[in-house]
Amino acid sequence: MPWNSLMDRMMSELHSHSQGKTIEGIADCFRTAPLNPQIISAIKTAHALGCELRIVSDANHFFIETILKQHELFECFLEINTNQSFIDHEGELRIQPYHDFNFASHGCANPCPPNMCKGLIIKRIQDSMSSEGKKRIIYLGDGKGDYCPSLNLDEGDFMMPRKNYPLPSVGADHQKPLIVEG
C-alpha cells in the first residue's frame, strides 16, 4: 500500500470514535515536531539570499504546512509539490495521492511510488527554470523515491543524499552518479 493511502487510512482511524482525535489535535502533534535549528537557519539564509526553495515530498500538504508554519518557514517556499490533503464534511483529515494511480500510471519506469514520480516534478521545475533563465538545482533527498529525480539533474546540479538513509544504497546499483557536478 502506498504511503499516502496508508496515512489516509491512519487519519480515518485517528478520527474514529475509538480514538476521537480532532483535526486540531493532529495539528498540535505536528506543531511539536522538532526541526534541527541548523536546518531552520539554512532555509532562512537560502531564502534571504534569493534562492527559490521548493518542496517535492511524498508526505502531504497538511503535515508540511503545519510544520513549516510552526517554525516560521512556510513563506520561504515558492512551491510545495506533495500529496493533497483536505478536511472533509465531518472535519476529518483526508489525504489524496499527488498522482491518481487508480486512474492511470504516471508512466515512470524507475522505482517511484505509484502516487508520485518526483522525477517528472523535477522535469517540470527544470522547464520553468529554463524559461526564467535559472541555472542550478540542489536536490536534497533521503528515500528510494528520490532516486528518480537524481537521474534528471543536469550538469552543474547537485544531489545531496541524507546519510544513513535508503537513497545512497539505491544509487549504488546504477551506473549514473548521484552527484552531478559541472
Q: Which residue has the cell 523515491?
A: 145
Q: pLDDT band for position 180 (50/70/90)?
A: very low
Average pLDDT taken over every residue of the chain: 87
Average confidence (pLDDT) over 113-140: 89
Annotated binding site: 142
**Between the CA of residue 177 and those of 40, 173, 181, what are the distances in Å?**
29, 10, 10
Q: pLDDT band for position 144 (50/70/90)?
A: confident
Q: State the greatest distance between any 2 C-alpha atoms of the chain, in Å, as a whole number.
A: 56
Considering Cα of 108, then 111, then 116, then 120, what sign does the dihedral take? negative
Q: pLDDT band for position 182 (50/70/90)?
A: very low
Is the pLDDT confidence value at 134 over 90?
Answer: no
Annotated binding site for Mg(2+): 142
Sequence-ordered alpha helix ranges (H) in 32-145: 37-48, 61-70, 118-132
